[in-house]
Structure 1
């Protein structure tokens, strides 16, 4: 947008007083020599000014931060000083990334020098200086070399504060200032080769295998970072010397460590590996970890699986884990609420492991009986008497088929972890409502 004061104002704000992008389009001429200072450089900003930039004689580009290449996903970096591909543009622009990146790389090879400040946080200003055969133009302010920073986006441009330098003395002084910084080897270093190497990653062809592994990396990036840091798992428990740990395959060990960290961080976890991948042994390893912390553990399983679990506690020749001396309690799903366990201290477990947890996918209330009272369901008994009563209880769910009918099945199992708190993951995971998240995923 423009205002009546645009003709007399030297301010370029990408709002009411013109854009810095249009200023550059007007002032960059044939054979211009450019000197730019910016924290960011994006290939789409180059594309937006391509007609002007392709005709210049030379560019000197100075990054104001040394962390200009942090990762292949600059949105994840702590200091996003070299956002070369991501400019929050529409999908049709993203689909042109390969071509734009190649054209930008070719242009930089031919016409640009690129340096960066060595010391972090040392240079904050942005400057665009043009020398057109002795006639100098300049503008200084807040705009980075991005589409939105330059005000060249179709919408959503940043409101910036830039001021044209209308004094010949000041334009010359700006050029001298830039030259002083540019040539100070104690302040700056050449980074052109690093920039070009990074750009090549954007336009080179990749094998399907590379794309697959890169996708996996971004899906599990947070988990990998947590695993590298060791997470919350206490390695001093002797857990890694247990027999059950030694029996696990490497992929199971990764899963166990991840599950323990999730249980400690989010109060629970669901292991939904397919049949035959060893969920029981993974669960036994997790149980061992909590028993080494002197935690009481309850395993709830279908009646037909009770003996499968009990054998690992017994002094039995069929027990391959005798030396681990497991002490967990095993009860059947059908034992919940039975009169025979009226005096059982249900609220005294630090960890509850629910095998075949999809059996608790329905949280509907019980039916009204002839005497007018409502029957307590197993789900309600588990929630109210086991999880919400007594000590702080964490939950491990095991199921190869956690979803049978709809994502409500999964929601109801997650609510066992959160003790029926729909907003439990709001702070830790940014999920405001478990129910709404499942509803959104279902639609």
Structure 2
């Protein structure tokens, strides 16, 4: 059982820029129907097939928006439009579209690409905005994601997360690889290759560093690595196991699980590796810390009640409060950016499934988001609207995203490798 292996690892326990992008490493398969989805028509951008034959900007935008669960694609039936067109709104209303996007891609003399688009409100018949940008070939995917972000924010009022990044771990043969990729799993680059396991990646709040656990020294050691240069350093290599790093919201402190004083307990450590102080004192195993968004509380897993449950304590220590009560085995807490929702993995019978719990409502009951059997490692998108997690399908470990109601799921299908330990990066790329 992968979840048990990961939990056991936590409890007992290369240069990024030089790696070539992992083209076609993932493709996205979207399933489910949301209660309310805005129908949007995204026309093929003029000349994109000629300018960028190996990459469709409009297709990336469409996939991003549909994966969010908020939008439903409307067939454009080969409509020839671009940002300078004057679309007939009655025609698009007749196709049941509420919004329309059209644009163009032009290769410039200096080798860059000029990408332009416009967004129309079909119902009101007006222009909601548009942009024009010139990018290098290596930034075409990022430009497409930023277009999707623009559209998402204009139509929902919330920031889009399509131009953010995720980190995850792959295992193929005897090789373990820590990768950083776009939020849809594409454009992956290698941060670390190792013959030994890599677990628990965690983004710094500014998105410039990753903390993770590597077993390359035949024990669990916590490292911090710069995502742009690949430079890394040991953060925690104390006697015993060093595991489960979690960054504070201000990026100045990390919470860890250390066994240097016998037993696995929570500690706080400054980002430079100094000022180590113990946070919990129990005869139990305390692990998997996750900071509350205000930085004043920490959620964690402990078996102090007999089986693993999720608890909460102050970053200054002291009283410990139990959070989960439904089920006998609850692990892997993740807190939404607004602090209102807890995502976690619960064992129900022999199945490990993704659940959420409303922390803002007294007496709220857990909600199951999945019906799969091997879920692990939930992580919220920085706008709090999606959760990424790992599960098992067709004999492979794969990554999924889900809306908070569980109705729309997107599977990031990888090839020839098992994919696990996902964590969603912050805004600000």
Q: TM-score, normalised by structure 1?
A: 0.25
Higher relative contact order (CA 8 A, sep 6+): 2
Higher helix share: 1
Q: Which has the larger radius of gyration?
A: 1
TM-score by length of 2: 0.26
When you count strand as a share of all residues, which structure comes out higher?
2
